[in-house]
Amino acid sequence: MVKHHDALPGRGVTKTVKHRFLGIVVSGCLIFPGGFAGTQEAPPPALGGMWSTTVTAIQYPGWSIQDLFACNCTEETYELLEELLLPENDHMSADEIQRALSTHNRAAIQELFTDTQTEYLAGYDHADDPSIQCEYFGTFRTILHNDPILIDQNEVRIILRTEDMASDRIIYVDGRDHPENGPLSPLGHSIGWYEGSTLVVDTVNVAANIAEDALNIHNADYASSIERYTLSEDGQRLHMQFTLIDPVMFREPLVLERSRIFTPDVDLLDAPCESISGEL
């Protein structure tokens, strides 16, 4: 079943989350033209199927020790993880390593905040989270969500199907460009192309929203992103690199990474919104 947003066929338009403070038109975002699509000579990587993180599939074999501590982390945070896993740090417990990584990751992200982001967060009330009112996640929060994703891939488009409050997304891979003067929306507009074993996704015209709740980061109107999904040689691992471009909220692009593994026996579960928000 395809869920909610107007970017998907056969569904109505949901409300755009309105953040008065963030309603800023930003020019100069990085745009990657659709002309990149279709230049792949070899067959594209086979990405179809279910992909999970350690959050929901920690029991699966194949995870490395690094994966067990993985998060939506910056490159510097993963470098710290490698140091903490050296033999001289064997005295540290798993909880201590996890706390050190979380503290470092938050600090690394906060270093990129503009004054606008800092001022906005100072007055932000988590009770205003639109998902509490059963509004589905915007595109960035969906991308960084840790629940499973089901990839439906063909020559024209890729549909990323999700569960619970995350949003299903369409990524066009048929060579089209973004529409001129496209409207703002929670999901924006996504096009993609292949570079070897990597799917590259360019998303523009994203409306102001919560970009990731656990990291407490938000985006302004007209934010954009680049996602890179790289398939391993054995087809069992999908590594994501996510770059958020938002000069209103970040002094430079924010880059986060995380891997998923192929979990064909996992099913998507859609709990009622009211049970997630606590209204039941």
pLDDT 10s per residue in the chain (280 long)?
A: 445 444 443 333 333 333 333 443 333 344 344 444 445 578 999 999 999 999 999 999 889 999 999 999 999 999 999 999 999 999 999 999 999 999 999 999 999 999 999 999 999 998 999 999 899 999 999 999 999 999 999 999 999 999 989 999 999 999 999 999 999 999 999 999 999 999 999 999 999 999 999 999 999 999 999 999 999 999 999 999 999 999 999 999 999 999 999 999 999 987 777 665 555 4
Task: Enumerate long-range contacts of 116-124, CB under 8 Å, 24 or more apart.
Answer: 116/220, 116/248, 116/249, 117/217, 117/218, 117/248, 117/249, 117/250, 120/21, 120/22, 120/218, 120/249, 121/216, 121/218, 123/21, 124/216, 124/218
Q: What is the DSSP string of 206-271?
A: EPSEEEETTTTEEE-TTEEEEEEEEE-TTS-EEEEEEEEE-TTTBSS-EEEEEEEEE-TT------
Beta bridge partners of residue 208, listed in sequence order: none
Within a 10 A sphere around the Cβ of 146, how many other Cβ atoms? 17
Residues paired with residue 172 on neighbouring β-strands, in sequence order = 157, 191
Kind plus residue range of the DSSP H or E element containing 127: none
- How many residues are given for the chain? 280
Does the residue 253 lie in any domain? yes
In the three-class reduction of DSSP (H, G, I as helix; E, B as strand; rest coil), residue 190 is classed as strand
Neighbours of 153 (CB within 10 A): 18
Q: Which residues of 209-246 are buried (b: 16+ CB within 10 A; e: fewer)?
A: bbbbeebebbbbbbbbbbbbbbbeeeeebbebbbebbb
pLDDT at position 32 is: 42
242 touches 227 (CB < 8 A): yes
Question: What is the value of pTM for the model shown?
Answer: 0.85
Q: Which domain holds residue 260?
A: 20-58+70-266
Q: What is the dihedral of CA 103, 81, 201, 26, to 10 degrees?
A: 30
Task: Specify the pLDDT at position 27.
Answer: 36
- Taking Cα atoms as reference points, which of 110, 126, 106 lies closest to residue 118? 110
Q: Give the other-Cβ count within 10 Å of 98's Cβ.
A: 16
Considering the domain boundaries, does residue 43 fall inside one? Answer: yes
Q: Provide φ and ψ at 105, rounded to 5°.
A: -65, -45
Beta strands in 32-123 (DSSP E): 49-52
Best CA proximity match to 39, nearest among 206, 189, 175, 211: 175
Amino acid identity, residue 137?
F
Q: What pLDDT is recorded for position 42?
A: 82
Q: Where do the DSSP E strands lie in 64-156?
A: 149-153
Give how many domains the chain has, as a whole number. 1
